[in-house]
């Protein structure tokens, strides 16, 4: 299967209502944190509820989710009222957005799944710089999405550690080397 067309490109921004009817502005790359943006077919359905609850539980229980400060955001075409009920009933600890006009769906190229019978279930991993690093399109496999994000958060942690190690200065001079440098400097000024 070909990679999603947004992989490797800057993630699109959008503004749509959250579960309280407030405008939620997504502008990837501005907070310094990675984003797990998941599109799902219908709030309250069995698979979508399981998926959302897996993200809720991962945010509360998985150390890498906490340490990375990942922003988890759910999006479906359901109206605000249904999103509000869903968030409250499932005690979700992340924004759930209402995309009735399918603006975000269009921006992220979300099509139909299950031979066109339902909206696709697609999760995007966006790095702290706002670049789409990967996408998982798995309409039937709702349990794969939080695991997919977990894998990427582990990868981001590894990348950050390598970057920090590469940018660390060489070992500081020892007292012997400072004395030697002092003697060299003194000799040069004489």
Which pLDDT belongs to residue 30?
95
Whether the CB-CB separation of 65 and 150 falls below 8 Å is answered with yes
Active-site choice (6, 48, 149, 153) = 48
More confident residue, 163 or 169: 163
Torsion of CA 101, 103, 104, 107, to 10 degrees: 150
Both tokens assigned to 129: 């710089």
Q: What is the pLDDT of residues 164-184, one digit of tens each?
A: 888 776 555 555 555 655 555
The yes or no reply on domain 14-189 and CATH 3.10.129.10 is no
**Domain residue ranges in the chain:** 14-189
Question: Among this protein's residues, is 53 annotated catalytic?
Answer: no
Percentage with pLDDT > 70 across the chain:
84
pTM for this one?
Answer: 0.83
The CB density around residue 38, as the number of other CB atoms within 10 Å, is 26
Q: What is the pLDDT of residues 16-67, one digit of tens each?
A: 999 999 999 999 999 999 999 999 999 999 999 999 999 999 999 999 998 8
- Residue whose tokens read 């070909």: 2
């Amino acid at each position: 299967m070909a990679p999603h067309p947004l992989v490797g490109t800057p993630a699109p921004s959008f503004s749509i209502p959250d579960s309280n009817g407030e405008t939620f502005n997504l502008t990837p790359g501005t907070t310094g944190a990675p984003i797990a943006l998941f599109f799902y077919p219908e709030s309250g359905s069995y698979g979508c509820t399981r998926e959302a609850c897996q993200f809720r539980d991962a945010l509360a229980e998985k150390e890498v989710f906490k340490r990375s400060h990942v922003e988890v955001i759910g999006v479906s075409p359901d109206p605000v009222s249904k999103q509000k009920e869903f968030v409250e009933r499932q005690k979700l600890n992340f924004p759930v957005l209402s995309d009735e006009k399918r603006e975000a769906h269009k921006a992220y190229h979300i099509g139909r799944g299950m031979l066109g019978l339902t909206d696709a279930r697609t999760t995007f991993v966006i790095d702290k710089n706002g670049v789409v690093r990967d996408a998982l399109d798995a309409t039937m496999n709702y349990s794969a999405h939080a695991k997919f994000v977990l894998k990427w958060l582990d990868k981001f942690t590894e990348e950050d550690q390598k970057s920090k190690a590469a940018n660390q200065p060489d070992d500081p001079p020892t007292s012997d080397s400072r004395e030697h440098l002092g003697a060299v400097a003194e000799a040069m000024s004489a």
